[in-house]
Structure 1
Amino acid sequence: MESQKDRVKLNVGGKKFETTATTLASGGRNSFFGSMFNDDWSLRSDGSITELFIDRNPEYFGVLLDLLRTGELYVPPKIDKKHLYREAMYYGIKDHLRFAKWGPFDANRIRLAESISRPTTAKPEKIWASPNSWCCVLHDNIVNVYNWMLEEQPTITTRYYRRVNDVCWVNSDNIAVSSSDKYLASGGIGLFSASTGELKYNFHVKDEDQLKDYTAGALGVGSDYKLFSSFSESTNKKNGIGVWDIVTGKQTDFLPYWPDSKATKFQWLDGTNCLMAATCHSRSNCSINLFDFRENTVALSWSDAAYQRMYSDAIAIEERNSICIVDSHENLGFMDLRSTTSSIEWRNSTRENAFNPYPKLAFHKGQLFSLYGDTISVFCGSDFVPTSQLQLSYCNWIRDFSIGGDRLFALHRDKDIFDVWETPRP
């Protein structure tokens, strides 16, 4: 429209800039500049040249203005990148900067972008990626959180520094933590702020309307603001799954879990409104169960009564109607997600007589990932053909990996280092 061709003068920290309404409008409705336009995306002015004073650093603004003009990011050597990211957040154009920095996730084109090292002798245990490219790393009883600029945030600690059992990103702003800390809550689950590390509230565990002395384990999050956790009671060896409303913190359900050991992994399936609960890390009692919350029934129940393998992970691939499992030799097995009597189709690994204590699976944007030793294998296509492999920046085994927000994070086993992988722009 004609009014978007109007020139706009900006005074940023005493330095004058001149641009167009079209350039500023490219920042989006929710950006700093969005308030300068009406509902028809016309400048709120009388048609004359508009001048706006912004009390910010002009050097960083110039870089961001060029980003809006060209869609490309050029950072001069004198510009501090992390300060530039903070300025992009102030102007509400963080996504523009991120999209200019890397493209949509593609594991066959992904490249190592940065390695984050901590000057400690502690060995990290697990890593989790958030939906907005943050991540957090577990060190026994401490959870270290990093924002999308890879700056470390205040740490998350449980009361009396009890060991953390699992961590789950509830959303981009909050992290659920389960621990052996009975003082944190009955069962030991708390909801923490990702940016401040502050405890927001506890999740209490009730069975038959009575508070129970359970130990919290694996965590999972589902639709409709549901939080799941596995529990075990040491006195009578009773296992269960608790369900809470994340918004209110109130428990909404308690499901008995019949396998001899508690669930080690949860995954919510949006299409079928089911919860997959898997028990792995056990040679004699590996099981997978699907709980249908619409019918309040068990839609699938499978246990390893015949194969007697040592399983380490399982993942549901809903768009392929299958569940994939991996054993300690990186053999992949697939079962039909829709069948109540599922048999497994095995695809043997090329690894010969090798053993890996940390196998892990992931599925992201149509690609299947399998961790084995020092390599993350990528499988694509309808038959999940191996297409590429990812390795660490240093010669080392991979302890854990996680994918979120178009980034892959890989954790070293013997060093307090994690690698950040991103897909370069085409």
Structure 2
Amino acid sequence: MKKSAFLITSLLLISSLALILTNPPTNANTKTIYVDDNNTTGPWDGTQEHPYQNITSGLAHASPGDTIYVHNGTYYERFTIDKSISLIGQNKNATIIDGNKTGTIIKVTANNVNISGFTIKNSGLFHYTLCGIHIENLANITLNNNILIYNYKGIRIINSNNSIFVTNTFIENLEAIYLTDSHNNSITENNILENQFAMVLDNSNNNTIFHNNLINNTNTISSINSINSWDNGIEGNYWSDYKGKDVDQDGIGDLPYTIATNNLDNHPLMGTFSDFTITYENKTHHIPTISNSTISNFKFNKTFNMLNFKVTDTTDTTGFCRITIPEQLIHKPYIVLVDEQKVNTTALPISNTTHTTLYFTYNLTTSPREVKILSKPYYELLENYNALLENYRNLNSTYYQLLIDYDSLNQTYWQLFTNYTDLQTSYEALNQTYQET
């Protein structure tokens, strides 16, 4: 339980890094409507200067294609999205839509809707139809980077297809994700934690479900008359109740995880999945990781073309990391340092000319530990440079010591020369006296 609680807290922190602030998109043919619950006295016209006080007002004045940008705050309301719009929250941890336990919070009735950047909570638990977001008879819906908590159903999807549910977090709902008669949807990179049911799929087929972290759910999956893909052919999901081993040490379980008849995750993950992004030379690079440690402080050092992050764990004494590195970001071959010490790495067979997937382990008797990944030729040049720099410093130190010794000898010489001059003067004086006598 201690390990799981640590994992849950860590996943929430990592997911928060994915999109702390969301900037409203701009398009010459559409408009952005602003909402801020702090504007309590008006005027209200949806501009940045005079935002609407609630989301319902923003929706009433929106047209298809518009974006509604909602500032941080707690919005006690329930509403229907009946236009193809984007509803964007400023910060998913601080932009909260609270149903106050009175019913379904957001009902979507239009295609091509995007909801991103919110905490959606408290639909109430008094009826099985109540949910954070209800989607029915629709297509092309995108839900990303939201937190759904304390609802009967986190999201309820009925007879809806070709939609994307990505990087959301579901916590303490009775049913986190519910699909019925819904097909060809993508459910990826979500954190599904401590729900009564992680997913319920009823007569829903050909959905793609992978790179999700399913942790401490009372019941993991209920699959009724449904056949779906639970991995992408290489990597699947992390299941906290998976009992398999990883004898070949690649971060993937050696045995499938059984969900139901004809439903297997053939490539269950041995650690939680995270996808970090790095922007370098005007391009965004994705760096997916699988690890049994918590990864934090993930950075890219542009000076040394080096990835740098910390790994932490409270229970395990041995950690592992499976990480995929774009060649455009760091050129192979690679070297991995843990607390400045080289560790053995394996380039896994899925590596190709554009991306290399590395696997390495490390000791966690002390935690956190710092990991650095950089190009091996560059590291060797850096080592040579540091050795030359150290030699230069030693030579410089020797030179200064010689200079000090030279100054000391020079002072001694001049003192001797002065003494000699004094003796010479005394001798000449004595000689003069002798000659005179």
TM-score, length-scaled by structure 1 = 0.28
Q: Which has the higher contact order (CA 8 A, sep 6+)?
A: 1
TM-score, length-scaled by structure 2 = 0.28
Q: Looking at CA atoms only, which structure, 1 or 2, has the larger radius of gyration?
A: 2
> Which protein has the bigger helix share?
2
> Which protein has the bigger strand share?
1
